[in-house]
Amino acid sequence: SSISSRPAMTIDTDTPLGSAPQEVAPQTPGGGGQPKRFKAAVYGATGYIGAELVRRLILHPDVELVRVCAADHLGKPLGAAHPNLEGFTDLIITAVPADESQVERVDVVFLALPHEVSWRVVAQLQHTGTRILDCSGAFRVDKASEYERFYGNVHPLPDLLPQFVYGLCELNREAIKETRWLASPGCFATTAELGLLPLALAGVLRGDVYSVGITGSSGAGSTALPTTHHPTRSANLRSYSPLTHPHSPEILQTLEHAGGKHLSIHFVPVAGPLARGILVNSFVQVPATVTQGQLDSWVDAAFTPGGFVRRPKERLPEVIAVAGSNFAEVKLVAGPVEGEVRTVTAISALDNLLKGGAGQAIQNMNLMLGLREDTALRDPGPYP
């Protein structure tokens, strides 16, 4: 279900959080209107995350997209890489700059790049005043040893790791507002963290956490691979990287920062036959005295009313309810009591390219620039 066919939407920054968005016309090249307050560039603009970053920035009332860079489609308009953007911008795709000179007068640079390329770009930009939002895994973990263990490379810039704020808005909102360097979370990590965050904040998340997550094919990127080829993906389910997925350490450190104790994360990802979306089921044990009512209250307390995490009451979270949007859904379900414990299932769902990727990055940018958090993001996805 393509989201590019929906009407262009934005949000009036004076509208209270949770109010309905206002429909507006697409911003065509050379259009009128007042100059926008901030300027942005997207490096890696031809990938799937890049496509969503560009689409949201084109619609953003306060941020002007001034540069799009990539390693392919050089010298061509964005529509050559993303047909849904045909006619919405006259920007031409250029190579990622070899130095920092091209970020002068750019307020924020999005890095939708492989982590080994993000290293190089961050090294170039670290002495500029430009805000950096890195959508790769290059700066998500606090410890270089954990990066090496799960990503298989020695981190070349370990001294910079502590300077990046981890961009889970629902946990680190105030720190995000103050930072200039941000590591936007991974898609699986965001999904699992949102599901388990209420338990961590309530102080009952302890010990072993078992998670199984199913993801759509767009999470593998825009380059075709044997495991993402449509004939072998469309009618298949396939586990991969069991217990070794690189999002595992960021899940662990985030939940520990939120109040989890003595945690051990056991995560198995599954490649599913859908294009976009993630569903994660996590299983934890809590004291037998914990009730369903308490679980519901902890979920309500963990997330800002009118924000991007919904708490469905009459059903369980599902991908079709959030695909194509920046919303996530979370539900905690109490299982039967077994001795002194009961097992809780934390169910969470989101769109891997939006709340798990570009949408969350735009949400972070809004906070960093002092804008409303939901600007250019509060539109529903298509159904079905």
Asked if residues 169 and 176 have their Cβ atoms less than 8 Å apart, the reply is yes
- Mean pLDDT, rounded, for 248-253: 97
The per-residue pLDDT for 165 is: 98
Residue type, 209: V
Residue 29 has pLDDT above 70, yes or no: no
Q: What's the pLDDT tens digit per position in 95-132?
A: 998 877 767 789 999 999 999 999 999 999 999 989 99
CB neighbours of 168 closer than 8 A, spacing ≥ 6?
185, 190, 193, 194, 254
The per-residue pLDDT for 223 is: 72
- Mean pLDDT, rounded, for 74-80: 95
The per-residue pLDDT for 140 is: 97
The per-residue pLDDT for 97 is: 86
The per-residue pLDDT for 10 is: 34
The per-residue pLDDT for 7 is: 30
Q: What angle do CA 81, 66, 44 make, to 5 degrees?
A: 40
Residue 18 has pLDDT above 50, yes or no: no
pLDDT > 90: what percent of the chain? Answer: 81
* pLDDT band with cut points at 50, 70 and 90 for residue 33: low
Average pLDDT, the chain: 90
- The neighbouring-strand residues paired with 212 are 268, 281
- Mean pLDDT, rounded, for 45-64: 96
Residue 160 has pLDDT above 90, yes or no: yes
Residue 17 has pLDDT above 60, yes or no: no
Of 299, 300, 309, 280, which Cα lies nearest the Cα of 377? 309
The per-residue pLDDT for 245 is: 95
Residue 66 has pLDDT above 50, yes or no: yes
The per-residue pLDDT for 25 is: 36
Q: What's the pLDDT tens digit per position in 205-232?
A: 999 999 999 999 887 766 777 777 788 8
Tokens representing 19 are 């109010």
- Edge-to-edge strands of the sheet including 278-287? 238-239, 261-271, 206-215, 278-287, 341-350, 328-338, 309-310
Residue type, 186: G
Residue 194 has pLDDT above 50, yes or no: yes
C-alpha torsion 257→258→260→265, nearest 10 = -70
pLDDT > 70: what percent of the chain? Answer: 90
Residue type, 102: Q
- Specify whether 187 is catalytic: yes
SS (H, E, C) 260-296: CEEEEEEEEEEECCCCCCEEEEEEEEEECCCCHHHHH
CA 370 to chain centre: 19
- Mean pLDDT, rounded, for 152-167: 96
Tokens representing 162 are 């502590």
Residue 271 has pLDDT above 50, yes or no: yes
* pLDDT band with cut points at 50, 70 and 90 for residue 285: very high
- Mean pLDDT, rounded, for 313-328: 97
- Mean pLDDT, rounded, for 327-350: 98
- Mean pLDDT, rounded, for 269-294: 97
Of the listed 69, 135, 169, 187, which one is catalytic? 187
Residue 315 has pLDDT above 60, yes or no: yes
Residue 19 has pLDDT above 70, yes or no: no
